[in-house]
Amino acid sequence: MTASPEIGTARPASPGLLRSVFRRHAAGVAVITAAAGRPVGFTATSLNSVAAEPPLVSFGLGTSSSSWPVVSEAEHIGVHILGEHQEELAATFARSGADRFGPSTGWRNGPQGVPVLDGVLAWLVCRVVARIPAGDHRIVIAEAVVGDPAGGGRPLLYHQGRFNALRD
């Protein structure tokens, strides 16, 4: 029999408990972009692959986010997998009020008019197929229509409230 860690005192479910638990869960870092007159984007650690056939992804976005009004209407969104060299880019897209598409951000108009970021490990342009209410968030499900997985490097991770890189 293997020894198991001691179980502490159980706490009632709350936003704080959920945040504390998920700080212990390492997640890949992505930036989601969309455009409707102006480009918007945000850093996401909730990106998931949903299905291979059809190729579906999902992510969560708070309805109070400055990006939500555009994403709520967008037909297409961009998904960008960040590399360990892009911690500053991740921080920019996570910061409220930041000039996310300013001079320090390399990007171009991609397929379907979606902003595509430069230097990422991989990117997809996806057609939004559903926006599902989930508390104060929406879960967005989108089908990949085009992309490029050819960027080089290792992924950026988020763990314990900060950006990290993989260790060998």
Q: What is the CA radius of gyration of the chain?
A: 17
Distance CA 69, CA 72 (A): 5
Residue 1 has pLDDT above 60, yes or no: no
Q: What is the pLDDT of residue 2?
A: 62
pTM for the full predicted model: 0.91
Residue 5 has pLDDT above 80, yes or no: no
Q: Which residue has the higher pLDDT, 136 or 3?
A: 136
Residue 90 has pLDDT above 80, yes or no: yes
* Element containing residue 94 per DSSP (H, E): helix 87-94
Residue 28 has pLDDT above 80, yes or no: yes
Residue 153 has pLDDT above 90, yes or no: yes
3-class DSSP state of 33: strand
Q: What is the pLDDT of residue 83?
A: 97
- The tokens for 95 are 């910061």
Q: pLDDT band at 127, cuts 50/70/90?
A: very high
Q: pLDDT band at 167, cuts 50/70/90?
A: confident
Q: What is the pLDDT of residue 4?
A: 62
Q: What is the pLDDT of residue 56?
A: 98
Distance CA 100, CA 91 (A): 10
3-class DSSP state of 140: strand
Q: Which residue has the higher pLDDT, 1 or 39?
A: 39
47-61 tens-digit pLDDT: 999 999 999 999 999
Q: What is the pLDDT of residue 37?
A: 85
3-class DSSP state of 84: helix
Give me the percent of the chain exceeding a pLDDT of 70.
97
